[in-house]
Structure 1
Amino acid sequence: MKRLNLFPILFTLILLLLVSNLAAALIDAEAAKIPYQVNNSDRIVIGTVSKIDTYSSYTIYTVKVKEWLYNPIPAETIKIRSKIGTNLTVEDEVEFAQNESALLMLNDGNLDELLFRVPLGIKYPVSDRDAVIEELKAQGKWQEENQTENKTSETGMKENTGTTGEQEESSNQTQKSNTTPFMSPVCMLAVMLGVIIYVRRKN
């Protein structure tokens, strides 16, 4: 019986794997840049972490607002949810230290609870403020009223500093993280080797 030459197949599969990983790395690098983040953020804020509440599958960071740079809301503090907890770690999720200050691009989570997410877990130093403002101007998003440093209203959205974490903790006890990690190169290689062994035995 004619034997199948597996080298071209294996080489092609490895090449495809390397190309896909390289493409993913390029996309991640582009997504981390200020222009991309400004274009894809619901709000932009500068603040300082004043409280950290860690649960089994997530962490809630309370952030004291210093300045809104884009799409402000009347709140002196906000909360940021990260899918990193005592029993769970997820890549591309943000982590903060107590009293850490940062410039943050936010995606809306639950506005009633002033709860937000940080896309790709990326935080910027406060020194990037001018660069972000320049990009906001370039994208036509900058308005002088965007700057609301220490001018937040106490009568708008109420500040929910108490029970958000506890309520989410009880609802999350019964479910695992629904994020499926991307298949690693090692797993992909194992799958390819399994396919090759199967084909060789069949022939």
Structure 2
Amino acid sequence: MSDSESHNKQVIGGGFKAIEYVLSVANKVGPKKLSSAVRSKNACKACAFGTGGQRGGLHNEYSNRVEICNKNIQAQLSDIRDPIPSEIFTHNSIAELQQLTGKQLEDLGRLGNPLYKPSGASHYQPISYSDAIQRVADHMKNTKPQRSFFYASGRSSNEAAFLLQLFARVYGSNHVNNCSFYCHQASGVG
């Protein structure tokens, strides 16, 4: 995107334009998948605010009004997209993929398989989950726990974060953090 294109790009912060944007993206995944995702008993994938609790989504925990944010919809939509076809990785080098914008990469879909880049290779290779787990296990066996850092996603569940920190401690490391800490540290300090 050129400087003039990014300068003239309209920023959508809410209202009817945001609804229009969400509906256009929702058409890509289908109304049934979208409806199921936004009505689930979950937390907002953008800010972790409760979205429905035991009543299901489209509400916050303390209100009967319908409430859902654009960021939550965007995060939900990215999770339910179709997987990126493996041909994308066999036909496009890492250098070519690096030329894509974040939006272009996200529009390809979600990762459906683990990827591996052999030393000296120019392309990612899709591998099986058992192969990926074995590679990670072998690497961890050869790495001292003090040299390890475990980093959780704010988009994962509390249960997944709990298991990750438990795993890190069993491994022998107390170097555990979450992306939410970095995102919200400025709002919580002085």
Q: Same fold (TM over 0.5)?
A: no
Larger RCO: 1 or 2 (CA < 8 Å, sep 6+): 1
**Higher share of residues assigned helix:** 2
State the TM-score, normalizing by the size of structure 1. Answer: 0.23
- When normalised by structure 2's length, the TM-score is 0.24
